[in-house]
Amino acid sequence: MVRRIVLFFVSSFILLLLILSAWGVLVYITPPPPKMPMLPAPPAIGGVSASLIDGNTGDVLAEKEGNLRIYPASTTKMLTCIIALEEGRDKLNYPVTVSKRAMSQDGTNVGLTPSMPISLDQTLYAMMLVSGNDSAVAVAETVAGSYDRFIEMMNEKARNSIGVHHSHFANPNGLTDKNHYSTAHDMAQIGRYAMKNAEFRKIVREKSYDMTYLDGTVRHIENRNEFLGHNYDGANGIKTGMTEAAGECLVASAERNGQLVIVAVYNDKNRWEDVQSWLTYGFAKIRARERYETELAKEPFIYKQVNRILGKESS
């Protein structure tokens, strides 16, 4: 009986030594898990605030005072346009309402008048390319039936559908108002939401367009978004803005091999160049993340388990 007990403990001890030896060998031969590459900080830009996001996922890639309250100026029209496309889709081929309010807007206008009827669809091009403030009001009153109701729709859309909570909109065109504000982060997310819509994407990528009135009159218009003309690889939108209070603003996007990247910069005198440097940084960061995820997926199962036990890799 004693001999059996001794044999049991000796055998158990030998087995334990073998297991520990095997574990030690396994630990020794197991390489460390792939590491997410550390990229340098994004390039310096002149803007007061900026936000760079993955247009496919919404993940933030870089920010500079991304949650600072800013005046969004005419980048507001991204929200006006997507509301029109989603909530006013049944009215796109019908003439817009051109009210006295629309015709009396300050800043850039396209000169809408009741005597030259134009469809809602064509007015969206005037609003997004020329940045017509009169067009934005005409769109708002046509889609919602009243100006005030459209403002309610803007805040509802931003908060409930898009999920941004640091913005408040008081008009459809972005003219300066103390109650009309946002952040670079929120505007980048609004741009991302809008770019999911194929018709929105079609509008904002146009460098120029032949806008057609309902009587057949054609008016050639040019997009004020100079970013589209800088031959940046994949450039496909989105919207400019500028007022004295807001400074020079731009929400820009580019897409390569199905990967969309969006950047929003505010009060940036070097906006055309700065968005390009940040978009390039964004694509590089996404490629680095994809390489890391590929290497992680290729890691052998046994190595992965060892690294997890050792606390070198999360489960």
Catalytic residue among 74, 119, 167, 253: 74
Cα→Cα distances 209→89, 205, 304, Å = 20, 10, 55
Cα 303 versus chain centre, distance: 37
Cβ contact 96:114 at 8 Å: no
Query: For this structure, is 74 an active site residue?
Result: yes
Token pair 């050639």 is found at 220
- The maximal CA–CA distance of the chain, rounded, in angstroms, is 112
Instruction: Name 231's Cβ contacts closer than 8 Å, sequence gap at least 6.
Output: none
Of the candidates 257, 199, 270, 194, the one whose C-alpha atom is nearest the C-alpha of residue 230 is 270
Cβ contact 184:265 at 8 Å: yes
17-53 per-residue burial string, b: 16 or more CB within 10 A, e: under 16: eeeeeeeeeeeeebeebbeeeeeeebeebebbbbbbb
- For residue 228, count other CB atoms closer than 10 A to its CB: 20
- What span, in angstroms and rounded, lies between the C-alpha atoms of 95 and 172? 18
Catalytic residue among 49, 51, 131, 182: 131
Catalytic residue among 49, 51, 77, 239: 77
* Catalytic center residues: 74, 77, 131
